[in-house]
Amino acid sequence: MTTAERDPAVLDGPPRAPAWKVQIARTSLMALAATFELTSRHVPAMQEEIADWEDGRRVGIGVLPLGPFITIAKEGNRLKYLGKGLRNAGVSILFKNLDSALLIFTGQLGAPQAVAENRVCVHGNNYHAMQVTRAMAIVQTYLFPGLILNKTFKRPPRLNVRQLGTKALVMGMLTPRLIANAFVK
């Protein structure tokens, strides 16, 4: 008789997260990847942020301990979604647990605040990780509505008319990009 058979409170391996939480995280990471791609094409602030990144830089973002994970890379002057999983990422931003990740993904907490509250682990160069955190803040600006931004940012970004138009463009292109990325392994 195994320990688990004698005591149902003892589990073999790490406890599994509820499937609905994992699905929210998976979908949110896909939306994050798509928004990274779109903002790198259409948002001057993102283009400035990634201008100094070396070509080929890979960034992994995910949730510990079991995932999900995504990898994006700089190709030319844009960011490209490479697929699910950590694929030779030079720097990885890993949320310490699913609940911490969901706070970011559902717009309850901003990326800089998550870093300040020690909700993430960084693997790789800290300078590069801070660049990714700034880029993630730009992504959140164009992904979330103003009401959420007022809650997640200490000083919410004020978008001018042109930036609001760009935000509408990014939001309009998000669903087609999500569909296209769904076929990337």
Is the residue at 145 inside a domain?
yes
Two tokens, residue 95: 């949320």
Cα 110 from chain centre: 11
We report the CATH number of the domain holding residue 90 as 3.30.1050.10
Is the residue at 6 inside a domain?
no
* Strands (E) located in 76-141: 78-84, 91-95, 120-123
Helix, strand and coil in the chain, % to nearest 5: 50, 15, 35
- By the 10 Å C-beta count (0-12 exposed, 13-18 middle, 19+ buried), 2 is classed as exposed
Is the residue at 10 inside a domain?
no
- Pairing of the two strands 69-75 and 120-123: unpaired
Is the residue at 98 inside a domain?
yes
Is the residue at 171 inside a domain?
no
All residues at 6 or more sequence positions from 49 whose CB lies less than 8 Å from its CB, including other chains:
131, 134, 135, 138
**pTM reported for the whole predicted model:** 0.86
Rounded CA-CA distance 8/92 in Å is: 36
Tens of pLDDT, residue by residue over 35-87, are 999 999 999 999 999 999 999 999 999 999 888 999 999 999 999 999 999 99
Tens of pLDDT, residue by residue over 88-142, are 999 999 999 999 999 988 888 877 788 789 999 999 999 999 999 899 889 989 9
Domains in the chain, number: 1
Is the residue at 67 inside a domain?
yes
Query: For the chain, how far is it from start to end, CA to CA, in angstroms?
Result: 41
User: Which residue range is the domain that position 33 belongs to?
Assistant: 18-164
Is the residue at 5 inside a domain?
no
